[in-house]
């Protein structure tokens, strides 16, 4: 497959998708002792000087990316994209094949220091494997970003990546760059602007329409094949306002709160595994092909 170069343009301000992830990692630095200090939504003991102004320090490309994302991810937009993509009738493709397909996404990253999409997936999965987690957990790590193939189908960056947030209800001020929501048409829609908006308290996240992106897409591709905790990892891994900021609890139900533990278990593998050696794709391939075959049919609907 020929590499698809994604041009940096008004439509796609980021030089590469990792620019967004680098920003998120910067915003949520790795806790000093992750083993004995599980993630906390907001640390009440955090001293004032530990707060950094992430918005002021963000690269102009990242700022522009969030501006576009917050302005255009409306309730109706997210609904329309679900309708457009969740029919899963575009093509049939195996999971490894999809990973290779995603790897044809070449953006302006530095090939000497940056990981390819496939290497990020393998690195995430390998770290999960190294820690002795179940096979489905390793597989969730391997597939979690496959939804980024939406970029290869011409979708703009702001509709593929970015921290996700609920549409149809008020915006939390813990979402990064909250003032950009002023330009979102939903901001002038009173029924979308109460804390609950169109939802009932405790309705459960399954009923909440998050902003559209690669998480929701891969969840639907995988939902018949993986256990529930893996599906939560896929579906909510970019929902930082929930899993890292502790927001929107009034929309969750008991099941969501149980599953949050797994989403939080997954997050460090996604965010903090980018600094070591590049995995050897050829050497790892047989293990992953076996693992995929254990859970998925040879071809999956995309
Ligand atoms: Fe992701
Ligand atoms: Fe990722």
At residue 40, the pLDDT reads: 47
CA of 262 to the centre of ligand 2 (A): 15
Side-chain half-sphere of 199: how many Cα atoms within 13 Å?
25
Dist. CA 170–CA 113, nearest whole Å? 40
Mean pLDDT (the chain) is: 90
Burial class (CB in 10 A: 0-12, 13-18, 19+), 162: buried
CA of 24 to the centre of ligand 1 (A): 11
7 pLDDT higher than 90: no
Of 252, 76, 247, 239, the closest CA to residue 167 belongs to 76
SS3 224: coil
Non-local (6+) Cβ contacts of 285 within 8 A are: 96
When pLDDT is cut at 50, 70 and 90, the band that residue 10 belongs to is: confident
Phi/psi-derived region of residue 162, left when phi > 0, alpha when psi is between -120 and 50, beta in every other case = left
Ligand nearest to the CA of 269: 2
At residue 70, the pLDDT reads: 98
196 pLDDT higher than 90: yes
Ligand nearest to the CA of 147: 1
Side-chain half-sphere of 56: how many Cα atoms within 13 Å?
3
Of 291, 302, 285, the closest CA to residue 118 belongs to 285
187 pLDDT higher than 80: yes
Query: Per residue in 243-268, pLDDT tens?
Result: 999 999 999 999 999 999 999 999 99
105 pLDDT higher than 70: yes
44 pLDDT higher than 80: no
CA 19 from centre of chain: 13
SS3 92: strand
Alpha helices in the chain (DSSP H): 18-27, 54-57, 60-72, 75-85, 95-102, 117-130, 135-143, 214-222, 228-236, 240-243, 254-271, 281-295
When pLDDT is cut at 50, 70 and 90, the band that residue 128 belongs to is: very high
Q: Which residues have beta carbons under 5 A from ligand 2 (an ion)?
A: 145, 270
CA of 179 to the centre of ligand 1 (A): 24
The pTM (predicted TM-score) of the whole model is 0.90
CA of 201 to the centre of ligand 2 (A): 30
* Residue found by looking up tokens 């200090």 in the block: 37
Ligand nearest to the CA of 268: 2
CA of 226 to the centre of ligand 1 (A): 17
Q: How would you classify the pairing of strands 4-5 and 92-93?
A: unpaired
């Amino acid at each position: 497959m020929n590499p698809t170069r994604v041009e940096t343009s008004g439509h796609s301000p980021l030089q590469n998708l990792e620019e967004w992830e680098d920003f998120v990692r910067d915003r949520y630095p790795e806790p000093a002792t992750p083993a004995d200090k599980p993630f906390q939504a907001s640390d009440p003991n955090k001293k004032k000087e530990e707060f950094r102004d992430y918005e002021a320090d963000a690269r102009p490309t990242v700022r522009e990316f969030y501006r576009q994302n917050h302005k255009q991810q409306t309730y109706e937009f997210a609904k329309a994209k679900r309708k457009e993509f969740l029919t899963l009738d575009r093509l049939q493709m195996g999971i490894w094949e999809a990973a290779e397909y995603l790897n044809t996404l070449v953006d302006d990253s530095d090939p000497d220091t940056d990981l390819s999409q496939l290497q990020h997936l393998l690195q995430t999965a390998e770290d999960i494997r190294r820690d002795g987690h179940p096979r489905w957990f390793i597989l969730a790590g391997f597939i979690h970003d496959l939804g980024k193939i939406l970029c290869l189908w011409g979708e703009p960056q702001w509709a593929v990546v970015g921290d996700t947030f609920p549409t149809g209800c008020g915006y939390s001020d813990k979402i990064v760059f909250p003032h950009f929501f002023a330009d979102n048409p939903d901001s002038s829609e009173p029924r979308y602007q109460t804390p609950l908006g169109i939802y009932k308290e405790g309705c459960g996240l399954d009923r909440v329409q998050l902003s559209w992106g690669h998480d929701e897409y891969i969840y639907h591709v995988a939902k018949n094949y993986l256990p529930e905790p893996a599906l939560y990892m896929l579906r909510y891994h970019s929902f930082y306002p929930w899993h890292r900021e502790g927001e929107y609890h009034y929309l969750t139900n008991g099941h969501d709160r149980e599953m949050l533990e797994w989403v939080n278990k997954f997050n460090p593998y996604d965010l903090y595994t980018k600094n070591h050696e590049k995995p050897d794709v050829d050497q790892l391939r047989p293990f992953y092909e076996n693992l995929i075959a254990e859970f998925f049919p040879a071809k999956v609907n995309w």
